Amino acid sequence: MTGQAPAASGDVLIRVDNLVKHFPVRTAGFINRTVGQVQAVDGVSLAIPRGTTLGLVGETGSGKSTLARCIAGLIPATSGTVHFEGRDITNLPRQRMAPFRRNIQMIFQDPYGSLNPRRRVGAIIGDPFAVHKTVPADERKRKVQDLMERVGLNPEHYNRFPAEFSGGQRQRIGVARALALRPKLIICDEPVSALDVSIQAQVLNLLADLQREYGLTYLFIAHDLEVVRHVSTSVTVMYLGKIAEAGPKNPVYDTPRHPYTAALLSAALAADPEAAAARQRIILTGDIPSPIDPPSGCRFHPRCPKAQELCGRQEPPLEVKAGDAATHLAACHFPVTAGEKLATASRRARP
């Protein structure tokens, strides 16, 4: 199954096969020499059925944002393919990408950085109309105000600047802009991680409503596991440019097979003191290695509590583990079995 996207059945909207993105590392100087490659994304395959949400989880250096930008066509892929509704859209030039661009939109992480501070909100939201000329200029204002209303902004604020809005309102502006062309796929790159908790929930609810209303498909990138669990249909966990585990959300959350998934889940902090005290935590040693020189074999093996000699030698394939559904894949030689205790540290009881 390696290199094959899971869940090939059903109406797949977007399909990524064996996608690779390496960034050359050059020496700074008069003559630039390439001295290495940042292996940001290294052979990732996934497929998202229409109308569902794929949650993409990973920490710094996992390559999740790079993957999203390759899919959105913002940066060229080194190799591999991206198919949208069955058509190959990998590395298309800008003009030929335009019809797909309307269908693939993005929401960005930083509600402050993703809106041009010198432009008025109405112009920002109306930008897609101006670029794609889908709406005549005299109707744009009305259309933009409809969008503003839809995402919960006051349409009278059409002429304001982004600085006059709070973080949550700005993220709504970003949502309205992404929605303008009625896309089929929206790539959400950490859309709520810069927002306050109470505002986070507002934006998540808005995204859920829009999905229902317009039948949207989401690729939802986040590092917050509870948020991903809430929004996703299925989940893909990435570690250092590769998929560690993928599958429908409940099996992945309830019976994680990859020790990294298990560690990530155990490290998530619940806002519940008793649960926090009771939780057996897997404290991983060390930090995430550099993607310039990733570990041999399984990339997780230097931090893995279950690592054996084989793990450093041979890369584990992404496959179905014994007892799992055909859609639940993990890349591990020694998968975690149900009920297995991996905890290397338990929270000391405090008086």
Q: Which residue has the tokens 């897609």?
A: 128
Distances (CA, A) of 260 to 256, 285, 302, 305: 9, 12, 11, 9
Residue type, 137: A
Report how far Cα 10 is from the mean position of its chain's Cα atoms. 22
Residue 350: other Cβ atoms inside 10 A: 5
Which of 29, 117, 136, 339 touches other proteins by CB under 8 A?
A: 117
Least distance from other proteins to the Cβ atom of residue 195, Å: 8
By the rule CB under 8 A, 208 interacts with other proteins = yes
Q: How many CA within 13 A on the CB side of residue 69?
A: 16
Closest Cα partner for 328 from 221, 236, 217?
A: 236
Residues 227-246: x where in contact with other proteins by CB under 8 A, - otherwise, as a string: x-xxx---------------
Q: In what order do the strands lie in the sheet with 185-189?
A: 104-107, 185-189, 217-222, 53-57, 234-239, 242-248, 329-330, 319-320
Nearest approach, Cβ of 88 to other proteins (angstroms)?
18
User: How far apart are CB 152 and other proteins at their closest, in Å?
Assistant: 4
Residue 191 and residue 173: Cα distance in Å, rounded?
Answer: 12
Residues within window 269-298 making contact with other proteins, judged by CB under 8 A: 269-273, 275-276, 281, 283-284, 286-288
Amino acid occupying residue 125: I
Q: Which of 23, 91, 92, 132 binds other proteins (CB under 8 A)?
A: 132
| Alpha helices in 215-338, H assignment, sequence order | 225-231, 249-254, 259-267, 273-278, 309-313
Is 217 one of the binding residues for other proteins (CB under 8 A)?
A: no
Neighbours of 93 (CB within 10 A): 8
Contact positions with other proteins (CB under 8 A) in 150-189: 151-152, 154, 157, 160-161, 163-169, 174, 177, 180-181
| Alpha helices, DSSP H, located in the chain | 64-71, 94-101, 121-132, 137-150, 167-179, 197-214, 225-231, 249-254, 259-267, 273-278, 309-313
Nearer to other proteins, 5 or 255 (CB): 255
> Applying CB under 8 A, which of residues 39, 200, 234, 255 lies at the interface with other proteins?
200
Q: To the nearest whole angstrom, how small is the minimum distance from the Cβ of residue 103 to other proteins?
A: 11
202 binds other proteins (CB under 8 A): yes
Least spacing, CB of residue 130 vs other proteins, in Å: 8
C-beta of 9 vs 205, nearer to other proteins = 205
Q: Judged by CB under 8 A, does residue 106 bind other proteins? A: yes
Q: Would you say 18 or 211 has its CB closer to other proteins? A: 211
Give, as ranges, the residues between 304 and 343 that touch other proteins (CB under 8 A): none
Q: Is 29 in the site for other proteins (CB under 8 A)?
A: no
Residues 54-83 that bind other proteins (CB under 8 A): 59-60, 69, 72, 74
Contact with other proteins (CB under 8 A): which of 25, 98, 137, 326?
Answer: 98
